[in-house]
Amino acid sequence: MNSAFAPLSLDETVFPLRERVRAAGLPDPEALFLMATGTGFLPSRARDLEELELGELAGELGPWSGAVLRAGRLGALSAWFLDDCAGEEASDEPRPAWMAALPVWLAAASGAAVCVHTSAGSALPSDELGRVPLAPRSFALIGDHVNFSGTSPLVGLGESRLGPLFPDLSHLHHAGLRAAAEARARALGLVAREAVAACTLGPALETPAERRMLARLGADVAVPGLAAPLVAAGHAGLALLAIVAVTDAPAQGVELRSVLEAASQLAPSLEDLLVALAPDLAETAARLAAEAGS
């Protein structure tokens, strides 16, 4: 591990980085859009857009060293936009587990009250209870999740000003935002419904047997790399809306290329949904900020 980076804790990394972001002129956010599907054209639909490469502000930031943080306004909502690239960089050097979700804590420390996470995942088969599988090319609005990744960004974290030692995740996924997303999707003619996500490790796609197992354990969609930002949002106290673009049906022989193609085709509809959700996100963020200040 880089000797200059090793001694730093999460708090020692986040708070100085927050001040550097502010000094660079980026406004504090009300909401963080952390997008494993890629931000695409969403930032271009915001007003007063500014951008900043995080690696220019600090030393070793792991996978975020080359990440570009964009800030702008979607309607009345002050937002940050960032690709979730935590799983894209391979490294032989060990890093603290919390590094995988660093932007979540940075946004929370900067004033954000809401986190919107987008990803792509595979529909799981029906189980003995007869649950109807998610339709390909639809959107799963995550109401709960099961962490099958075998890890957590809180491993080794210990005491932190950024959240409690054992965060309560029982109400992590914000019901009000999920309901708003379902209504906005319906108005746009998009197919979206509540689902349970199985957070897998990746990068390999699941085997048919693994998909059957995940379905039997109550999950509707399998998403590699999803656990870290969700758990971090819970630890940071952010209201979370996780949306999964369902790329394929529960069948054998799925190829990564077809998954990526389906995710790319769904991207414009996902962006439309997020833009339509901006008033709901702004209202929720304002209400949570008022409650925190009272």
pLDDT tens across 114-158, in order?
Answer: 999 999 999 999 866 677 889 999 999 999 999 999 999 999 898
d(CA 181, CA 194): 10
- The domain containing residue 103 runs over which residues? 10-158+167-293
- Residue 251 clears pLDDT 80, i.e. is over it: no
Q: What average pLDDT does the segment 266-274 reach? A: 96
CA 55 to chain centre: 20
Residue 246's pLDDT band (cuts 50, 70, 90): very high
Peptide bond into 203 cis (omega under 30): yes
Q: Quick check: is 62 in a domain?
A: yes
Structure confidence at residue 195 (pLDDT): 97
d(CA 289, CA 283): 10
Q: What is the CATH number of the domain that holds 225?
A: 3.40.50.1580
Average pLDDT of the chain is: 90
**φ and ψ at residue 230, rounded to 5 degrees:** -65, -50
**Cβ neighbours, 10 Å, residue 276:** 19
- Residue 90 clears pLDDT 70, i.e. is over it: no
Structure confidence at residue 256 (pLDDT): 73
Question: pLDDT tens across 160-191, in order?
Answer: 999 998 999 999 999 999 999 999 999 999 99
The contacts of residue 137 (CB under 8 Å, 6+ apart) are 191, 246, 247, 262, 265, 266
Structure confidence at residue 185 (pLDDT): 98
Q: Quick check: is 91 in a domain?
A: yes
Residue 1's pLDDT band (cuts 50, 70, 90): very low
d(CA 94, CA 218): 33
The contacts of residue 23 (CB under 8 Å, 6+ apart) are none
Structure confidence at residue 223 (pLDDT): 94
Q: What average pLDDT does the segment 269-285 reach? A: 97
Which of residues 204 and 112 earns the better pLDDT score? 112
Q: Quick check: is 3 in a domain?
A: no
Question: pLDDT tens across 191-207, in order?
Answer: 999 999 999 987 778 88
Half-sphere exposure (CA, 13 Å, Cβ side) for 225?
21
Q: Which range has the worst mean pLDDT, 233-242, 246-255, 280-289? A: 246-255
Beta pairing partners, 124: none
Structure confidence at residue 190 (pLDDT): 97
Q: What average pLDDT does the segment 213-219 reach? A: 92
Tally of domains in the chain: 1
Structure confidence at residue 3 (pLDDT): 40
Q: Quick check: is 2 in a domain?
A: no
Q: Quick check: is 217 in a domain?
A: yes
**φ and ψ at residue 115, rounded to 5 degrees:** -125, 125
- Residue 232 clears pLDDT 80, i.e. is over it: yes
> Are 134 and 250 a contacting pair, CB within 8 Å?
no
d(CA 225, CA 229): 9
Question: pLDDT tens across 40-83, in order?
Answer: 999 999 999 999 999 888 877 888 989 999 999 999 999 999 99
- Residue 5 clears pLDDT 50, i.e. is over it: no
The contacts of residue 131 (CB under 8 Å, 6+ apart) are 215, 220
- The pair of structure tokens assigned to 233 is 């949002």
Residue 252's pLDDT band (cuts 50, 70, 90): low
Q: Quick check: is 4 in a domain?
A: no
Structure confidence at residue 87 (pLDDT): 62
Q: Quick check: is 30 in a domain?
A: yes
Q: Quick check: is 5 in a domain?
A: no
Structure confidence at residue 85 (pLDDT): 85
